[in-house]
Structure 1
Amino acid sequence: MTEFTHKINDQNISVRLCLNKRSKRMSLRFDSIKNVLNLTAPPRTSQKQILGFLESTEGWILKQLSKAITSVPFEESAVISVLDQDYKIKHESLYGRLDVKMQDGSIVVHGPEERINMMVTIFLKRHAKSMLEEYCEQYATTIGMEVNKITIRDTKSRWGSCSEEGNISLCWRLLLAPKSVAEYVCAHEVAHLKEMNHSPDFWKIVEDLHPHYKDSKAWLKKNGRELFKYGLGH
């Protein structure tokens, strides 16, 4: 895979080129989270053909760029919602041990100002592990099952997954969603411990664990993409 920059209307756009022998023609996909164009082309496609293709699709590209996510860093005085509770980021002493903690409605950061974004992101990932593990374990107990292992990631394509071995993976950004939404995803993955499918039996388990799951599912579909604009990792 090769990455290069393409300019449209004085705007530089990152393009990732993948030459695929199974491709019969060029195709383009825009990753609105990473703000990058993924271009797939047959192996012998020339540079001239690639540039011509990009120029011919400029209208489509500009339309996709208008949907791109604008990065919002965690910084001094910013207010973020964590499972329905608002926290204001406070930056304190530059000296002493690097530390982040939740205190009286604030996320207090001790460390260099330029590291606030990174430190808060790491802290929230750890907090997500604690909270999401708790939800999963409660749901698993309810249905008489046991989770083997829970992993917290920064996944872009799915909010969670469950393997046949009982390993559950969850996106830490669920911490930034309403509590009911985070609980729904945990209930969804725990339900897979009994039903490794999306059959009516599966959805009945989800509904028993989280009666208003349809509302949470709809919220994720409408607003989930916005959770990726915060902090590091996009």
Structure 2
Amino acid sequence: MDAFEVAGTPVRLRRSARARRMTLRVGRVGGAVTLTLPPRAALADARAFAEGHAAWIARHVAAVPAARTVAVGTTLPVAGREVPVVAGGGRAARWTGTAIAVPDDGHAGRRVATLLKEMARTRLVAATETHAEALGRPFGRITLRDTRSRWGSCSGRGDLMYSWRLAMAPEEVLDYVAAHEVAHLAHMDHSERFWACVARLMPDYAPRRAWLRREGAALHAVRFA
């Protein structure tokens, strides 16, 4: 048995040689529940552990944003504002300033994702250059990915990675992520010195960080397949 239900919610079991205790995780997209347990843990103990956390499971599953698929006739956030996806000519998705126009050919999601990547790159490169200049630190390559666990990262060589889904976040939130990663060019940790550096680059970063922690899962719930 690799799964069971707790109060009607499927719980998938995953054994890990590195696990020292049982832990529960609710996926940020879709709300799938995974119970990780040590190799020798008994299934009866796993079930009892999950059932003992039934209220926790229900609360966190209910908090997961519903998935939404991009298509002509739907809406999605762009720079923090809900905008319509409308039928348009040409072969690519196009930002009109108030809507995204895209051919209604069954590939709208993929075309819109391409547009968002272009918008994200333009904004993130500009924000990164601004903060790096203020910090007096050079940076390397900038790459965009569709990451689930982080919005950005900085390598020891100064290369920066960002999630292109930041194109959907408010511009001030995207700017915060750029400031956060640029600060790692000076401090490759999350020490007090690092956060002081973020504060120098962006004194009002706290509400922007809070928005991302509170609303970020909704950006991951947008599907472009």
Q: TM-score range by the shorter chain?
A: 0.7 to 0.9
Counterpart mapping for 1:43-192 below 5 A: 43-44=39-40, 57-84=53-80, 87-92=83-88, 98-113=91-106, 115-192=107-184
State TM-score, norm by structure 1.
Answer: 0.79
Asked whether the equivalents of residues 64 and 217 of structure 2 are also in contact (C-alpha less than 8 Å), the reply is no
1:229 partnered with 2:221: yes
| CA–CA distance in structure 2, aligned partners of residues 206 and 54 of structure 1 | 39
User: Quick one: distance in 2 between partners of 1:155 and 1:227?
Assistant: 11
Is residue 74–residue 121 contact of structure 1 (8 Å, CA) maintained in 2? no
Which segment is superposed worse, 152-161 or 25-34?
25-34
Q: Aligned partners of 1:167 and 1:228: how far apart in 2?
A: 24
Deviations 1:150-193 (A, max 9, x none): 11122222221111110111122221111111101101111211
Work out the CA distance in 1 between the residues paired with 2:29 and 2:56.
17
Taking the aligned partners of 2:177 and 2:19, their CA distance within structure 1 comes to 36
Please, which runs of 5 or more residues in structure 1 have no aligned partner? none
2:195 maps to what in 1?
A: 203
Q: Please, which moves more after superposition, 195-204 or 125-134?
A: 195-204
Larger CA deviation: 178-187 vs 218-227: 218-227
Query: Residue type of the partner of 1:13?
Result: P
Distance apart, 1:45 and its partner CA: 5.0
Using CA pairs under 8 Å that are at least 6 residues apart, name the structure with larger relative contact order, 1 or 2.
2
Higher mean displacement: 103-112 or 46-55:
46-55
- Sort the Cα spacing of 1:208 and 1:117 in 2 relative to 1 into closer, same or farther, 3 A: same
Give me the whole-angstrom Cα distance separating, in 1, the residues matched to 2:168 and 2:65. 16
* Alpha carbons 2:30, 2:67 under 8 Å: kept: no
Deviations 1:137-157 (A, max 9, x none): 222123222210111122222
Instruction: Provide the C-alpha distance between the structure 1 equivalents of 2:47 and 2:192, rounded to a whole number of angstroms.
Output: 49
Partner Cα separation in structure 2 for residue 205 and residue 50 of structure 1: 44
Instruction: State the identity %.
Output: 30
Equivalent-residue separation in structure 2 for 1:75 and 1:150 (angstroms) = 29
List gaps (5 residues or longer) in structure 2. none
Q: Find the aligned partners of 2:222 and 2:10 in 1 and give their Cα distance.
A: 21
Residues 24 and 41 in structure 1, CA contact (< 8 A), matched pair in contact too: yes
In structure 2, the residue matched to 1:13 is 10
- Kept in 2, the 8 Å contact 1:20–1:42? The answer is yes
Paired with 2:139 and 2:159, the residues of 1 have a C-alpha distance of 6
The count of corresponding residues between Structure 1 and Structure 2 is 225
Give the AA of the match of 2:15. L
Amino acid at match of 2:58: L
Q: 1:86·1:105 contact (CA, 8 Å) conserved in 2?
A: no
C-alpha change, 1:143 and 1:32, in structure 2 (3 Å) is closer
